[in-house]
Amino acid sequence: MEHLRGMEDMDMLLHTGDLSYADGFPPRWDSFGRLAEPLMSSVPTLSVAGNHDVTLNGLESMAYTTRYPTPYASSGSASPLWWSLDVGPAHVV
């Protein structure tokens, strides 16, 4: 992640899912957070949930949505897992 942090022209980071691979082990979320914090705290960051971030038991979903909020309400979505946002000339869905 250090090479990304050094990019001076980065306007935002869009992470496309599978952030932690916690798979039911919550401390892995914290491990990923500590590794990603230097980058994610210095660049506007949004993420989408991957299959390892949201599981059928709902525990991973809660861990994901608590740690990584999304602009779902402002985009008219009822779920934090579905959102859209204009970023420069792109409309991210």
List, for residues 29-45, the tens digit of each pLDDT value.
Answer: 899 899 999 989 988 89
* Residue 10 in this model has a pLDDT that exceeds 90: no
Band (78; pLDDT cuts 50, 70, 90): very high
Q: Residues of the chain with pLDDT > 70: what percent?
A: 90
Task: Return the closest-CA partner of residue 10 out of 49, 43, 39.
Answer: 43
Give me the chain's average pLDDT, please: 85
Tokens read off for 57: 């038991």
